Amino acid sequence: MRLKKYYILLFLILILCENSNAQKEITKVAVIAPSVSTSMKAREIRYHFKWQEVEPKEADYILVVVRSMLFYPLQNSYDSFTELKDDAESQLNISGSNYHIYLFFLENDLSVTEVDHKYFEAED
């Protein structure tokens, strides 16, 4: 349990360091978290950064949390939010060995591009 909290804290610190300028601007995020455990992780992250969850059309960024045994379960860009959501929902999500946390940017043409990706081992 302690190791899990350590990884979550490390992830959050890395995001803050890598995107310090962007962090000031991120206030609204759409969330894709297809299972109970991924929803809980997404909620922890939103709470920590004080991000507001909104509909995709209002979002500055898209927060995606999935579980998978792959190192890179999602692509780094998609033609649409729907494609990203479908791909995220197709991951193992309940029994995947790693949590993967992504931030995607929603482009003006409604395509999405990866901003950041971190992963760590799921303990349950």
The strand order across the sheet containing 98-106 reads 52-53, 28-32, 61-68, 98-106, 112-121, 77-78
Confidence of residue 28 (pLDDT cuts 50, 70, 90): very high
CA-to-CA distance for 115 and 124, rounded, in angstroms? 27
CA-to-CA distance for 74 and 55, rounded, in angstroms? 21
- Across 14-24, average pLDDT: 55
Confidence of residue 16 (pLDDT cuts 50, 70, 90): low
Indicate yes or no: pTM above 0.95.
Answer: no
Over 90: is that where the pLDDT of 86 sits? yes
Give the model confidence (pLDDT) of 38-51 as tens digits: 999 999 999 998 99
Q: Which residue has the tokens 């898209």?
A: 62
